[in-house]
Amino acid sequence: MASEERPRNLAQYKRFHTNDEGRKTVTSVEQIKVESSIERIYDRYEQLAALDPTLPKLYRGDHARYLQSSLERLSSSYECLDSSRPWMVYWVLNAASILNMRFSHELLDRVVDFLVKCRAKGGGFGGGPGQDPHLATTYAAVNSLCIIGTEKALEAIDRHTLKQFFWSVRESNGAFRMHIGGELDVRGAYCAISSAKLCSFSPEDERQLFEGTAAWIAECQTYEGGFGGAPDLEAHGGYSFCAAAAIMLLGGEHKLDLYALLRWTLNRQLAYEGGFQGRTNKLVDGCYSFWQGALVPIVQGLIARKEGQQHIMDVSLFNRYAVQEYILICCQRPNGGLIDKPGKPADIYHTCYTLSGLAVAQHCETHSLPLVLGDERNEVLPTHPVHNIPPKAALDAYRYFSAINRHPLRRNEAIGKQHEVPMDDSSENVSERQSSSQMSEDSSSNYSSSRASES
Ligand SMILES: [Zn+2]
């Protein structure tokens, strides 16, 4: 339980160093190298913390400045991501939401105009203006527009052609290709169902579109317990998240070996580093704080739903302080942005997912007080573990489109308006923590049956 959790004694944890028993492999050499770089950082931190008891600190203001400048202009190193531009928008907007940082109406309006340019005629969103639609960039664009949450933003989603696009990438067995003629993997199913839920597709549309999808996802579970991208591939944190989050939205948990999935996920938390790895025998990486960290409460939620035992949600099964130690001590660049591991440069993908992991570690026990490492100013806002957008943004979008389904002529109900708030370092905004407890009131039964989908 939260009350019994304590930050680790990092010196004692050194006994969990990797022991290669004298047999070096490429993997063990890399692992030992990463552990020693992290050991230097933890050793230095312990000395500094003896001088300054407010450590570790979240560099909120530096990250806010980094995100503000990233939304307006990116360095040329992002050129290779030209076909992922809605992703870049989403990473910045979601990271900013977690820090409770808001952008000006004018800037957000320009973002909506840009995403409209990425919308494809045949439905869905491409990676940039004029590019073919793709399920991943569609997911990123839909999430971004839901985060912005204005009527203009939500109306930028054309649900009619979006549905046509989903049908164009759907296979007869319920699996989804990432784009027409593209690769078939579990990300496709997750991106489609996540967007369909936020846009409140009708139950009949959902039933037809996702018939067979849960059974196909179940085929992607491996002997390790995690999920590969497609049947017979290696278990991987990102794909496992997509699989479990999709099943949370679709139902079908009885088709999975949930305890094997839970065991695999929990064993991806590394004993000394404190963060998570993406696959067995791989290195720690800040972004898996979310992919694996959010997977834990989702799987607990699936078990609770399958067994009708809500109390399964009452314990945290991973070391939530250890993840925060890794993120706050090892993954922050002092001039803003978060990173994969020490020595790596900051980028907006890792800034988004490492902060999302911090949010999950602090808030995944929704009925307890947040568990915050260090000063209370380190507290960030919760994120929805299934959609990874602010929980209230998910609820507002769902309500907006549900209201249109009921009354097609009244299109402006339940819109969360964005307000311009200056960036600052203050922690006051933490008290505005969004409550998502109403999620279960008027969302579909798939939302309401687990707290994992509410937090
Ligand atoms: Zn990463």
Q: What is the pLDDT of residue 430?
A: 32
The Å distance, Cα 290 to ligand 1 centre, comes to 10
Q: What is the pLDDT of residue 442?
A: 34
Q: Of residues 340, 392, 399, 400, which has the active-site annotation?
A: 340
Q: What is the pLDDT of residue 409?
A: 67
In CATH, what number is assigned to the domain containing residue 168? 1.50.10.20
Residue 299 has pLDDT above 60, yes or no: yes
Give the list of residues 6+ apart from residue 283 with CB closer than 8 angstroms, or none: 30, 31, 34, 277, 341
In a domain, 453, yes or no: no
In a domain, 61, yes or no: yes
The burial of 98, by beta-carbon neighbours within 10 Å (0-12 exposed, 13-18 middle, 19 or more buried), is given as: buried
User: How many distinct structural domains can be found in the chain?
Assistant: 1
In a domain, 32, yes or no: yes
The Å distance, Cα 156 to ligand 1 centre, comes to 30
Residue 413 has pLDDT above 90, yes or no: no
In a domain, 454, yes or no: no
Q: Please give the residue range of the domain that contains residue 243.
A: 10-14+25-71+82-407
Across 17-21, 129-133, 418-422, least confident range: 418-422
282 in active site? yes
288 in active site? yes
174-206 per-position pLDDT tens digit = 999 999 999 999 999 999 999 999 999 999 999
Give 4's pLDDT tier (boundaries 50, 70, 90): low
In a domain, 257, yes or no: yes
Residue 354 has pLDDT above 90, yes or no: yes
- The SS3 assignment for 276 reads strand
In a domain, 439, yes or no: no
The Å distance, Cα 283 to ligand 1 centre, comes to 10
CB 182 within 8 A of CB 238: no
In a domain, 450, yes or no: no
Alpha helices, DSSP H, located in 282-390: 288-291, 295-307, 320-325, 348-363
In a domain, 425, yes or no: no
425 in active site? no
The Å distance, Cα 76 to ligand 1 centre, comes to 20
Instruction: Give whole-number Cα distances, 421 to 97, 105, 368, 426, in Å.
Output: 12, 10, 28, 12
Q: What is the pLDDT of residue 13?
A: 85
